[in-house]
Amino acid sequence: MSNRKCRKDLLQWINAVSFAVVEAQLFLDTHPDDQEALAYFHEYSNLRNQALEEYAKYYGPLTIDTTKESCADRWSWINEPWPWQEGGC
C-alpha cells in the first residue's frame, strides 16, 4: 500500500503549517530575539517545505519553487487539477 496522503488532507496540512509560519513570522517582527519563537518558525517552515515537496511529488507543484528544473517537466503542472478543484483522494 502506498504511503501517499490524500490530496485534500495534504492541502489541509499545508494550510495549517503555512498559517503557523506566517504567525511566527509576524511575532518575530516584534520579538526578533526570541529564540524559542525562532526555533518554532524554523521547525514549521521545514514542515511546510516538506509538505509542499510531497504535494508536488504526487499531485504537481503548488508553488513555482517546487517545480522540477528540467524543461520537459517545466509546465506539466498546468495539466493537473487545480487545488480548489475536486479530485480529493
Can you give the pLDDT at residue 84? 73
Can you give the pLDDT at residue 74? 55
Residue 1: inside a domain, yes or no? no
Can you give the pLDDT at residue 42? 98
Residue 50: inside a domain, yes or no? yes
Supply the range of the domain harboring residue 74. 18-79
Can you give the pLDDT at residue 89? 52
Can you give the pLDDT at residue 71? 45
77 C-beta neighbours (distance < 10 Å), count: 17
List the end-to-end C-alpha distance of the chain, in Å, as a whole number. 14
Q: Report the domain count for the chain.
A: 1
Can you give the pLDDT at residue 1? 43
Residue 37: inside a domain, yes or no? yes
Q: What is the mean pLDDT of each run of 10 residues along the chain (89 residues)?
A: 78 96 97 97 97 88 72 60 66
Residue 5: inside a domain, yes or no? no
